[in-house]
Structure 1
Amino acid sequence: MSIKILAINGSPRGRTSNTDKILQPFLVGATEAGAVTETVYAIDLDIHDCTGCFSCWKKTPGKCIFNDDMPALLEKIRNVDVIVWATPLYYYGMTARLQRVMERTLPLVMPYIVKKGEHFGHPLRYQNYSQKTVLISNCGFIERYYFEALLKQFSILDRQERSLDNTILCTAGEMLAVPEAEQQISWYLDAAYEAGKEFITAGKISTQTAATLSKDFVTLETFVAMANASWNAPGETPLTLDEAMGRESLYTTSDTKHCEPLIPTAQMTTIRDVIAGMPLAFQPQAAGNLKATIAFYVTDTADEKYFLKIEDGQCSAFAGVAASEPDITIHTPAQVWMDLSCGKTDGQQAFMEGQYRVEGNIQILMMFNKLFKSADTMMISQPTGKKKR
């Protein structure tokens, strides 16, 4: 018999939400593993607030006084094997719409107080209401710390009514809504798909997939710079990165202490834009333990120097010259590297023709097709000069 999954998306944005961008790959993976899935969007439902009248306990046991969309949803909840609660993080908890749904599940339990493990709670009204639970959430912060209140609420629900088996918690979730970053962060959605398959086939998300889903899209400094630059609030002057981070903690190593971090933009009109966007294309799983500094010297201008810092599975872009010796230095005219980045020029051919030159560890350049997902035209793939396919 197929496992039945009901997903309840509490985002006010419904089908266009960042939450749904994570939820749907998870459900596709589960479906391909043999599950039967259904998504319900709280935004589409007519559900009254719980008024705390306790009629569902005292007057009409198991039945609410409101004749809205909730009774039908309760029937769905009672007859599935897995519930996926999906919500963006609003003020450090679930959305009001999802909270309303959660509160209206009160008819599914009985009013009596009984001991459940180390604590006391309400017994289930229906014995088949004991599904596995998955929590999917995303937030606008880059620190996972801000999920703590939401996790605490679900951990209490775990002891009282449900079993919280797996979580997918995505930081910097607004990156999911940036069209220019779609290809660069596809690795995360691929991992969500794998999580859905694993949950059905193995009963849980694997440690490896969970570790991938816990990775950040960009570094902390890049995230703060992008987030603060995105608002453009009228009449307000945005904070500088120094002000936002605190000068003492702005850069984590002496190698980058006096360099300007590059902020990715939606435009790709200059080589600065292209290099600033490369951290968004970075594939941490391909980097492994790689630690490298990649310098770019723009040969047709006097003062354009940039570098990428790869370390601990993260990539950051800076203007200037790193304090330490780069592992590889790419000397290139601006237009050449821009053409390579968008596929107008073949990287192998451009290198062989001397349109750009490289000093240092050329093996790093040969890894670009794996390190940067959208940069597969930039590198030379074989020392013999064979064209990469």
Structure 2
Amino acid sequence: MNIVAAMSGGVDSAVAAARAVEAGHTVTGIHLALSRNPASYRSGARGCCTIEDANDARRAADVIGIPFYVWDLSDRFHEDVVEDFMDEYAAGRTPNPCLRCNEKIKFAAVLDRALGLGFDAVATGHYARLRTGDDGLVEMHRAVDHGKDQSYVLGVLDQEQLRHSLFPLGDTSKPAVREEAARRGLLVADKPDSHDICFVADGDNAGWLAEKLGDRAPNHGGDIVDATSGEVLGQHTGTYGFTIGQRKGLRIGRPAPDGKPRFVLDIEPVSGTVTVGPREELAVDRIAAVRPRWCGSVPDRLHGTVQLRAHGDEHPAVVTVTGEEVAIELLTPAYGIAPGQAAVLYDGTRVVGSATIASTGRHLAAEPSPSDRQTRPPGPGGGR
């Protein structure tokens, strides 16, 4: 096949491109220019869209021996990912920009352009596996290396996109990928993985939002209120600085009467009220989700699992689909789940689809699993 290899400048995408060549494909490497002002993007390993990354991708393409081009998608990225990120936080929700980037940029804008230019598919360094099911549909499954599995951030891909995608690393562990990169003479073999959000220069999401939102924010401050007593515990400068489940950075001074820490339970962006309370109040086992994206056929009812964070546990769940609404009943409760996050649905290792969490509720409560004891949703991740 004649394919495009999306090369971010990291070790994963470089090895994926090399494997595509080794498999007999005709490969062209591309790097996505996503910033209107590349000098404002990060240096080092905190992001994934730096000037250094573009240079690393070009050098890797030279070693592999493939043509290399830079595609400027900065306007599309700003509109579909950055603006969406700001709008969601202004509305009191917690988005995952890497899912949006995969949906709108890497497997929509890039794939559309690639197909228009006569290419057959796009290869990336994501850790996931593809196989053809008995019904002829392309199925996406978790990677062999569950610690690096990225099927969660790929749960937005539909059948047409999956038919034109290649994930060469899905059957390999990250240490093996680094060893292979060294054998191939790729200088990115020991390059650290990217972390955090690529367009937030210093990793300070709240500070970045405070600077960028401006008049888009519905308020510039409000009260922090105790859920039990209704007492005003402090003030804040913007609800965009909080997310459901947050423990640190509340700046409310004195501890609760029981001596236990408080967590953000609710965010009301119009009034500016942030409600805090004990961890047990974060437990949810009912989720209403909207805007589903299906990887294949649409289920009416699914007894499977749901993942609610990029590196979170799977929760056994019963999922009922009614048109564009997805009702999720968790059989084990989850903690600190925020509207705006993605719920990705699985049948075994197969990704069924994803939907955006609109609201949560509680019918039962139980102790959290170890990975749910975090205080904030972890940073999103992308294929490197």
TM-based fold match above 0.5? no
Q: Indicate the structure (1 or 2) with the bigger Cα radius of gyration.
A: 1
Say which structure is richer in strand.
2
TM-score by length of 1: 0.29
Structure having the higher helix fraction is 1
Please give the TM-score of this superposition, normalised by the length of structure 2: 0.30
